[in-house]
Structure 1
Amino acid sequence: MTLFFRTALRPVAALLIVLFLWASTVWAQQSTLPDYTSWETIATRAESMVDAERASDERLETLRAQVATWREQFQAAQNVNASRIQTLEAQIKALGPEPEDGTESAEIKEQRSLLSTQLADQRAPVLRAEAAYSRANAIVGEIDRIIRERQADALLEFGPSPLNPIHWPGAVQNLQTTFVSLWREITANVGSSSARKAALQNAPTVLLYLIVGIMLIARGSIWARTAVDKLRSGTRRGTGVFRFLVSLGQILLPYLGIVALLQALNATGFAVDEWNVLLGKLPFWAALMFGIRWLADQAFNNDDDVAALPLHADERPKARRLANALSFLYVLEDFIATLIAFDGYPAATAAVVQFPVLLLSGLLLVRLGRLRNDAPIVGSAAALEEASGDFRLRFAKLLGRIIQVVGVIGPIMAAIGYFRVGEALVYPAVATLALVGLVMVLQRFINNLYELATGRHPDSTNSLLPVLAGFILSLVALPMLALIWGAREADLTEIWDRAQEGISLGDTRISPTSIIVVIAVFAAGYMLTRLMQGALRTSVLPKTKMDQGAQNAIVSGIGYVGVFLAVIIAVTAGGLDLSSLAIVAGALSVGIGFGLQNIVSNFVSGIILLIERPIGEGDWIEVGGTHGIVKDISVRSTRIETFDRFDVIIPNADLVSGTVSNYTRGNSLGRIIIEVGVAYGSDTRKVERILLNIAREHDMVLMNPAPAVDFMNFGADSLDFRVRAVLRDIGQGMAVKTEMRHQIVERFTEEGIEIPFAQRDLWLRNPDVLAEAVESKWTAAASDREKSQSSTTPRKSTATMGDERVGDEDEG
């Protein structure tokens, strides 16, 4: 009962969510009108800034966000009075077109004028919102254009080459100045008596942070493993899940320890100014390095069951080292960029200082990209074939080739002078590798969760759920990938806003919200239908007197009706106009008339079979000489299982229009016939009694109607008898026939009754004449052969003599 209520609450909860989304949409559409006075002020200022093109990128982004917010309000305001406008348009349409000759009555003319005036008043806010929306959209487009042009100019800016030795002394001097300034700042703070006094006052806090940080760094890995082992107690499944949790804890706890140490350093008060900037970024740098290390361990570990990329065992440690080195260079690049931004290095110094890190990153990318090509897949032929078809490996090969190209082109462009281009290629490639690794690791974690929950591996069961989870992960990663490669947050929000606007199909606008509502309502209706089918099949119908075929017909019919109603309600709830489907329905009717006749015929025949029920599931039928048991009746075809244990799919139209023999319709009774012959001279009365007793003594034979034995005929070789018996289950007919035949042979043997077989004797009336004729034919044949041989030998002699004669003449 509890399970029933849990199952029943799921579709109810889904329906409540759908109603909430629908109510939220309606409330948003019926919100108050925008303040056009405030909008006019903002729009005028935005247009002047766009025309001048002197504002900074930050100021333009802020202004764009404000205008985009107004644009959303104008979009929502376009749906104001929608129902009232539709009503007025319907009323005007009901009046019909205005006569051209002016013969329309005054009452109708007055009514038409009144409705037109009301329609214009109701449309006025909509038209104003559409005009404001167009203006806001144009401003947003102009701001995006300005920012994109600036980004392109900055990316393609030609600067000093880092390979020019002229810039090296200045870069070394600037770095020296920065580090000397940092050292002087920290020594001055430590040497200050007031700073030391403040540090002593915060000594308990500093000591607490130090103890916590050291304990987490020293014992964090052990604690994580212990906690996961306790969590795992009692189950042997889900090895990958628990290893994932252990690895995550072994990274997270030491990272928290480093954060605690940084808090202890901040509590001393010694770090100020530039040190505060660096210390503020240290948690991010530590998280980045720990995260890359964790991803490398998960993606390139030594366990084939949980490795995201099944590289060769010798290549995996190398891949982990390369990934950790790339994370260090990525952090080092951010550290140098922070120093450049804080001290304001010139462009030449920045290029010289950052180029070695960029060059090393490119070389590591090339080496990492070659791992996939250098790593052989070892194993059996089946393993090689499976590995060659693995999507992950194909994708890894493609990605490896791309990062090799990027690792070469990026440093070359930076060395030429296009340093921004080199940075825009190399470092996003490193971040892309980290993102791809994260997606693969999470996908494998979802597979392990599925195995833990179900006890079955996703690859062995071909389950769709882990695949869908991986697809969703990939979709979620796409916006992050766009941000990595230089997309602005405003670009993503613009795409989302455009998607929310939807597309117009006639008078209907399809948006993501309407699609979500349609899917949610249909899912709720589908679950309710399945729930009702399950309740009828297991609780209601078994308590009635209907047979199994009638119960299956009712359940199937409710399923078809429920799905049809779910589609209609879902489409209506999504705001889609069904009247716009009239053209589609007309096209479908033409298609049905030409190419879909058989499909429609089978569909209608399936409905007839479910209603009339001439056959039902479990019936033994014969169609076109094929015998089998009906296993499933759908709206298009019926599946029967033959006695040879293979399925035959029969179109429903053949069952309705053709001849079908149903051997078990209504009951399983059936008659069998066994024919047997006895030798001439046998006691026919005795034979009849034996056969009748054999039929009566069998358990499957009914006594009402009673079995019978018929003396059929005087055959050419035997006296023919026939046994007729009705069985309670005709499905056992073959086994009953076999058993009764065995008993007939045994009883006839005991009683000395012979079962004859056909015998034929051949008598020759004149054997002497036939012998003389055969002998004469053989004599004639022998004489012919002798004549043939004698006629052939002289010809050969003549030819020989002729040849010899010719030879003699030649010699003469």
Structure 2
Amino acid sequence: MSTRYFDCNQVFQSIVIAGLWMILAAPIGAQETPPPADVESRPVTADAEVSQPLSATDISSRADEVAAALLEMQKALESNESETADIPNLIDALQADLEIRLRPLSTINVVDMNQSDVESLLQTLGRMTRQLEAWQDRLQQQADLLDKNSRAINMQFLFFQSILTDNNIDGMPDALIERINSVIVNLETGKQAIRERLDRALAELTRISSIKLQINEATQIVESGQEQLKRDTLRFDQPPIWRAVATTESSAERLPRELRSRLNSVAEFAVTNEAAIIATLVSLFVVLGSILYARPSIIRRSGESAEDRNLQPFIERPISLAILLWAVVGPQVLLPPLPVALNVLRALIIAVTLWRLLPLISFSAGKKSISGLLALFVLTSLIDLYPPGGLSDRVLLLLISAAGMFLYIGFRGSLKALSKQKRNLWWRLSLIIASVAPFILFISIAGLLLGAVAFAKHLIVALARITVVVIATVVIEEALKGLAYLFVSGWGRRWLRSIRRFPILAQRRLDGLIRLTMFLVFLSILPSVSSLMSMLYEKLYEVFTSDFSIGTVELSPVDVFALVFSFVIAIYVAKFVRFTLDEDVFPRLPIAAGASAAASRLIYYALVLGGIFFALAASGVELSRLTLVMSGLGIGIGFGLQNIVNNFVSGLVLAFEQPFQVGDIIETGTLTGRVRLIGLRASRVRTLDGAEVIVPNADLIAGNVVNWTLSDRMRRIDVDVGVAYESDPGKVRSILLQVADESDNVLSSPEPAALFTGFGDSSLDFTLRVWIHEAGNWPQITSDLNEAVKAALDEAGIEIPFPQRTLHIRSDERSD
């Protein structure tokens, strides 16, 4: 049985038939006028004639070409028909099989059927639908080709029939007339054969559509029965335990039947999803090979931090970790819902790998209680494989519930004993589950006693599965955090400047992203844990999607959540993009620091603005309704927000003109300091005494700004000094130049200059003018030069005078 949608031989034959159709439909030469476009829709009349007379040679050549094309077409059609000849028999066999499989639906309610039989039936119906669609495609292709060839033959038939009119037959040789009649007969025969094939293909297509409709109806019946079974979970399905009686069918008789049903379901699943199963197995080998390949490198890189427990699964249990990752993620992503037997096998694999990895995770202190919970998980999975049907099975569920209560109490104690460093989101969630579990199991025990067996079983199964999902999530998250640690400490540190500068921040952000991702994955898995969780999610979805009105706007909690979530995500994305641009992209590009800062700032605000509009659209708000809001905002800007808009526009001017950049030393009015931030509304300047001053951008645009580091970061420093009048001016100048040459902070170009500036009241005044390479350090460099000048003058014995006044005392002779 072939289920391929495309066949190379069929494609080749289709190309051949299309080429033959082009030959049959094309005019033979420039002398021929083709039939009108609507010739097929008009009856052929006796006075039909060729618009231009053709020679006997042309007509004979045309007849030969048509005859040869008909032979080739006949061969191609027969070969093409052989490709679909087995389809009617296959449809008969499928229809007979379908009637057998749908027979129980006419006598038994879906609710009363064995669930493994229901699973097998749904998988079979899906496989039959895909098979019918494949056959439908092949028959539709054949029907299209037959219809195209039928139209081509009909055109040639009308052409040769028009030649045999009374106007054209006169003077035509009898042999040619006989030849034309033979071609017409062959065309008529070919057209009839094609019509019969086309009728058969259309009949099979109609039958396929009818069978697909029957399958869809059966699928709807089965799915509605499953929905009814979900609703019946909350009801009392059996009598109380004190009225229960043993079933007439023993467990020894029921077990083989249940196992056969489960195995049949697995076999049908394997036949139906062969390609998906192969892809899943390939993914297992890919994950296993990747971890084993990376393990030596992980061991080498973790040599200095072997105490890091997040890396231990890769080092000590790589195979168990790979199988766990595959068992949790692979079937969930690559396969449709698994039958019960395969779900049990998957549960066993997860339980064994988790038990192997328990000593290596942060919850290792509660290994005994977690091992017991894993055993409980396996037992509840086996209950799905062998559903309870009698009093003994209810007693077994009661024992499992009682054992589970003690296990969860022990698990809660081990969780509370963990150190505060290990108490994270999953610890809190596990503590909540361990605290609530005894009450849930008590409810299940009450349900088993009173007769709500299905409800109690679903409670036990859901609780065990949620617990194992949490434990598996912890293991996978810690493994991913180990990979993040390796990335930050190894490849990321070499590749990214941001990680080199902020390794702790990068590790914290990656850990947060991993935790958020795992939490979302955990929430997405919960509906598939149990039908109770699925029903709970459906009810929550109905509640959160119900609309409420605020004036003329209709919203729902989901819309509000989408608005807030989209806005928060937009803010974080904008911050991340800006941080990446500032730390890793712009430093690698040959652009000025101010230009890069302006570009990253504008990109940030553009992303935030786009995120706001996206959030509004995601919440269902019509953006066209924002016109009134924007109009009101424009009026508000015109009256009350003039200063803000002025500062905003000034910020844009500063961003593009760049009169100063971040890090420049500016002076405006009485303020002098280094620019720390250029915002869209205001800029921040740090003064020399450490004060942070917020300066509106409009003041920076309107006022005078002195930029000491606009073209370069050099600055001139003047050191003034006065010496005694007895000093040699030439010697003083030499000493000052020597001090400048010996200073490491003084530039040699422009050259230092020592100037004799004048005669003071008490001293000869000199000025040492030097240039330094970093204007921001001028106070400290000035102090150092003053100190060096003082030491040099003292060493040379040159006095730095202080102001002196000579007081002449005149005696008064008259007083004598």
Distance 1:450 1:720, change over 3 A: same
Root-mean-square deviation (CA, aligned residues, Å) is 6.1
Residue in structure 1 matching 2:296, options 226, 233, 246: 233
Task: Tell me the distance in 2 between the aligned counterparts of 1:491 and 1:570.
Answer: 30
- Shift of the 387–757 alpha-carbon distance from structure 1 to 2, 3 Å rule, reads farther
Q: Structure 1 unaligned runs (5+)?
A: 1-53, 67-140, 187-223, 256-279, 341-349, 543-547, 762-812
Partner of 1:277: none
Structure 2 residue aligned with 1:682: 726
Aligned pair partner of 2:763 in 719, 727, 733 = 719
Distance (whole Å) between structure 2 residues aligned to residue 608 and residue 472 of structure 1? 41
- Contact 1:672 1:737 (8 Å CA) reproduced: yes
1:156 partnered with 2:250: no
> Do the aligned partners of residues 144 and 225 (structure 1) sit closer, same or farther apart at CA in structure 2, a change above 3 Å counting?
closer
Residue 609, structure 1, aligned to residue 654, structure 2: yes
Q: 1:179 aligns with which of 237, 252, 265?
A: 252
Residue 614 and residue 239 in structure 1: after superposition, are their counterparts in 2 closer, same or farther (change >3 A)? Answer: same
Report how far residue 570 of structure 1 moved.
8.1
Question: Following TM superposition, by how much is the alpha carbon of 1:357 offset from its aligned partner in structure 2, in angstroms?
Answer: 2.4
Q: 2:483 aligns with which of 408, 433, 449?
A: 449
**For residues 664 and 179 of structure 1, do their structure 2 counterparts lie closer, same or farther at Cα, with a shift above 3 Å needed?**
closer
- Cα distance in 1 between the residues matched to 2:691 and 2:407: 53
SS in 1 for 2:531: coil
Partner residue of 1:302 out of 350, 353, 359:
359
Question: Match of 1:416, as an amino acid?
Answer: L
Gap change, CA 1:635 and 1:145, over 3 Å in 2: farther
Taking the aligned partners of 2:222 and 2:595, their CA distance within structure 1 comes to 66
Once the two structures are superposed, the pairs formed by residues 711-790 of structure 1 within 5 Å of their partners are: 711=758, 713-714=760-761, 718-719=762-763, 721-727=765-771, 729=773, 731=775, 733-734=778-779, 736-756=781-801
Shift of 1:405: 1.0
Task: Tell me the secondary structure at the aligned position of residue 616 of structure 1.
Answer: coil
When residues 586 and 239 of structure 1 are mapped into structure 2, their CA distance, relative to the original with a 3 A threshold, is farther
Q: Which residue of 2 aligns with 1:291?
A: 350
- The match for 1:404 is 438
Deviation at 1:444, TM superposition (A): 2.5
Q: C-alpha offsets along residues 466-524 of structure 1, whole Å, 9 cap, x if unaligned?
A: 43444344334435423434259799899999999999998999999x9999999x999
Q: Which amino acid aligns with 2:363?
A: P
SS of aligned partner of 2:449 = helix
Tell me: CA distance 1:650–1:437, structure 2 relative to 1, closer, same or farther (3 Å).
farther
SS at match of 2:387: helix
Q: Which has the bigger relative contact order, CA under 8 A and spacing at least 6?
A: 1
- 1:360 counterpart = 2:360: no
Superposed, which structure 2 residues align to 1:158-557 within 5 Å? 159-162=238-241, 164=242, 167=244, 170-171=245-246, 174=248, 177-179=250-252, 231-235=294-298, 236-237=300-301, 238-243=311-316, 245-248=318-321, 284-298=343-357, 301-303=358-360, 307=361, 309-310=362-363, 312=365, 315-320=366-371, 322-337=372-387, 340=389, 350=390, 352-375=391-414, 384=420, 386-388=421-423, 390-455=424-489, 461-486=506-531, 548=592, 551-552=595-596, 555=599
**What secondary structure is seen at the aligned counterpart in 1 of 2:359?**
coil
CA contact (8 A) 1:601 1:653 kept: yes
AA aligned to 1:319 is I
**8 Å CA contact retained: 2:647, 2:682:** yes
Change (3 A) 1:240 1:502: farther
Aligned to 1:789: none
Q: Residue type matched to 2:351 in 1?
A: I
Specify the SS of the correspondent of 2:443: helix
Partner of 1:700: 747
Give distance in 1, aligned partners of 2:785 and 2:763. 19
Q: Which amino acid aligns with 2:717?
A: I
Percent of aligned positions that are identical: 23
Deviations 1:696-726 (A, max 9, x none): 7565366679542323532xxx536341515
Unmatched tracts of structure 2, length 5 or more: 1-107, 127-219, 260-286, 302-310, 329-338, 493-502, 807-816
CA contact (8 A) 1:630 1:640 kept: yes
Between the aligned partners of 2:408 and 2:581, the Cα distance in structure 1 is 52
Q: Does the residue aligned with 2:403 lie in a helix, a strand or coil?
A: helix
Question: How far apart, CA to CA, are the structure 2 residues paired with 1:605 and 1:722?
Answer: 44
1:707–1:723 CA contact under 8 A, matched in 2: yes
Q: CA deviation at 1:623?
A: 5.3
CA gap of 1:711–1:365, structure 2 versus 1, over 3 A, is: farther
TM-score computed with the length of structure 1 as normaliser? 0.51
**Change beyond 3 A, Cα 1:620–1:565:** same
Q: What SS is found at the alignment partner of 2:760? A: strand
Q: Does the CA-based 8 Å contact 1:606-1:637 persist in structure 2?
A: yes
Question: Equivalences for 1:6-85 in 2 at 5 Å?
Answer: none
Aligned counterparts of 1:664 and 1:492: Cα–Cα separation in 2: 63
Q: 1:607–1:635: 8 Å Cα contact kept in structure 2? A: yes
Deviation at 1:421, TM superposition (A): 3.5
For residue 466 of structure 2, what is the amino acid of its counterpart? T
| 1:406 Cα offset (Å) | 0.7
Residue by residue over 1:357-386, the C-alpha shift from the partner in whole angstroms, topping out at 9 and shown as x without a partner, is 22222223322322344227679xxx53x3
What is the CA–CA distance in structure 1 between the aligned matches of 2:602 and 2:326, rounded to whole Å? 56
Counterpart code for 1:364? A
Cα deviations by residue, 1:574-624 (Å, 9 ceiling, x for unpaired): 999754321231344466568866654432221121233221244222357
Instruction: Quickly say closer, same or farther: Cα 1:727–1:508, change in 2 above 3 A.
Output: same
Matched to 1:682, the amino acid is: E
Q: Distance in 1 between matches of 2:326 and 2:223?
A: 43
Q: Is the alpha carbon distance of 1:149 and 1:608 closer, same or farther for their aligned partners in structure 2, counting shifts above 3 Å?
A: same
Q: CA deviation at 1:663?
A: 1.6
In structure 2, C-alpha distance between the alignment counterparts of 1:253 and 1:684, rounded to whole Å: 91
TM-score (normalised: structure 2): 0.51
Structure 1 counterpart of 2:352, which letter?
Answer: R
Q: Is the 8 A contact 2:737 2:754 kept in 1?
A: no
Aligned residues: 530
Are the aligned partners of 1:677 and 1:720 in contact in 2 as well (CA < 8 Å)? yes
Encode CA deviations 1:36-86: one digit per residue, 9 max, x unaligned: xxxxxxxxxxxxxxxxxx9866999999x99xxxxxxxxxxxxxxxxxxxx
Query: For residues 695 and 516 of structure 2, what CA distance do their matches in structure 1 show?
Result: 38
Q: What's the secondary structure of 1:700's corresponding residue? A: coil
User: In 1, distance between residues paired with 2:661 and 2:702?
Assistant: 17
Q: 1:536 to 1:692 in 2, by over 3 A?
A: closer
| Deviation string, structure 1 residues 181-228 (Cα, Å, up to 9, x no partner) | 879999xxxxxxxxxxxxxxxxxxxxxxxxxxxxxxxxxxxxx99996
> For residues 532 and 403 of structure 1, what CA distance do their matches in structure 2 show?
50
SS in 1 for 2:706: strand
